[in-house]
Amino acid sequence: MALADAQPQALDFECETGNYHTFCPISCVAWLYQKIEDSFFLVIGTKTCGYFLQNAMGVMIFAEPRYAMAELEEGDISAKLNDYEELKRLCVQIKRDRNPSVIVWIGTCTTEIIKMDLEGLAPRLEAEIDIPIVVARANGLDYAFTQGEDTVLAAMAHRCPKSSAVVAEEEKQERGNAISSLLNFGKKKEDVAAEESEYHDHDPLVLFGSLPDPVVTQLTLELKKQGVKVSGWLPAKRFTELPVIDEGYFVAGVNPFLSRTATTLMRRRKCKLVGAPFPIGPDGTRAWIEKICSVLGVEPQGLEEREAKIWSNLEDYIELIRGKSVFFMGDNLLEVSLARFLIRCGMTCPEIGIPYMDKRYQAAELKLLEQTCNDMGVPLPKIVEKPDNYNQIQRIYEQDVDLVITGMAHANPLEARGISTKWSVEFTFAQIHGFTNARDILELVTRPMRRNNSLKDLGWDKLVKEEAKVKA
């Protein structure tokens, strides 16, 4: 029996190996080249990087991709070739064949090791070929899986235009709020003007994070219901539609791995960061909207009812996982947000492995995690940064968890030992943000459990367990 005056627990943080056991961050090209429609990504690395991209993006083989590999040969690495001339030759070819609005150079481990001065080469070449060149370092030496997007967006934040007294107000709004063209498509001017009057008078708000267009629209409309106007998204669908960002603008992130972008917007562009939990799950989405409303001086309306309705629609999935345990080995930096949501669904989580933790940027998310655990009456998870995978497997055995969310490298070996797994990379590519997409998260989480229930019905579960014991 607990004491009435017992104090709330505090999160326990630990760091093990100091190594990243994750997908390579250059994989960010897979979703960013699709998001920014007028871009071209040039990954500068070795054949190994090329093989990785071919495997990581093999599902897109029938689409015409807007990315390529600049493969470094022995002559490049031994400095026998001129870096500038070689990159110029490739970029001229890209301009001739594709004519993009921006070329993004993605630096890899090799460009770091041989000290290739991409930032020094880019401005000179940009002026010569008359196409913006953005340099982003997405090497696996310094960054974990999804942090590749973080470095690209941080580099693009420098390219966001500033408003000017010379620019007419209408032109500034059109350029700074590209999302409005999507929301107002097919509407009459009078209807658009009437809707504009529904917004509260507040400081400009820019959201950052790469999300599919339907999710961008959903989150924008959720804020619109509260009378909050989104002035733009970073990144925009087109590089030419990057949002206007001036000193004093409010910015809010939608993903927990964008700490470098947040820092760039605060330090370089003098923006004010909205320190909110992330809009993953009904609880996180409500907290995200409430925090944005509070800093903008807007009174939120109907969020409690909206969240309750979503939870009621999820009950069929929640029944499958209530009382079960989940263990995160760590891969895509979404672990804390997903664990918080699953704990709210009734699961327990003994450990959250995460490749990199920025406690300042995720402060609100960590606070909501603590609050959620206390509300649900479950122990707080231990958060292990840069975990040791061998030690984690021993802890998985000891704690006898029901589900392990892990990177693809560990999934099959764990399944062979009778441990149910789910690929963490699937959450990276799925639509998991906002109220309505919470169902997609639970669809992914419950799939192994539904599979196991089907095996039980067929009587195959005993055979699987016996085979796992033999292999172990």
- Domain 25-139 and domain 306-471, same fold? Reply is yes
Q: How far apart are CA 184 and CA 240, in angstroms?
A: 19
CATH superfamily of 25-139: Nitrogenase molybdenum iron protein domain (3.40.50.1980)
User: Which residue type does 17 have?
Assistant: T
| Conformational region of residue 56, where left means phi above 0, alpha means psi within -120 to 50, and beta covers everything else | alpha
Per-residue pLDDT of the chain (472 residues; tens, 9 = 90+): 343 444 456 788 888 887 777 888 888 888 888 888 889 999 988 888 888 887 766 644 455 677 788 877 665 665 556 678 888 989 999 999 888 999 999 988 888 888 888 888 899 999 999 999 999 988 887 888 888 899 999 999 999 998 763 344 445 455 545 555 555 555 555 554 555 567 888 899 999 999 999 999 999 999 999 999 999 999 999 999 999 999 999 999 999 999 999 999 999 999 999 999 999 999 999 999 999 999 999 999 999 999 999 999 999 899 999 999 999 998 889 999 999 999 999 999 999 999 988 999 999 999 999 999 999 999 999 999 999 888 999 999 999 899 999 988 888 888 888 889 999 888 988 899 999 999 999 999 999 888 877 776 665 555 555 555 555 5
Q: How many beta carbons lie within 10 A of that of residue 222, not counting itself?
A: 22
Task: Kindly list the domain boundaries of the chain, sorted by start residue.
Answer: 25-139, 169-299, 306-471
* Structural fold of domain 169-299: Rossmann fold (3.40.50)
CB of 50 closer than 8 Å to CB of 69: yes
Judge whether 136 and 151 are in contact, CB under 8 Å: yes
What is d(CA 303, CA 315) in angstroms, rounded to the nearest whole number? Answer: 19
| Separation of alpha carbons 175 and 194, rounded Å | 21
The correct answer on CATH 3.40.50.1980 for the domain covering 306-471 is yes
Half-sphere exposure of 256 (CA within 13 A, CB side): 29
Both structure tokens of 420: 């149910």
| Length of the chain, in residues | 472
pTM to 2 decimals? 0.85
Distance CA 34, CA 63 (A): 10
pLDDT at 308: 93
How far apart are the C-alpha atoms of 96 and 158, rounded to whole Å?
Answer: 26
Rounded Cα distance, 384 and 403, in Å:
17
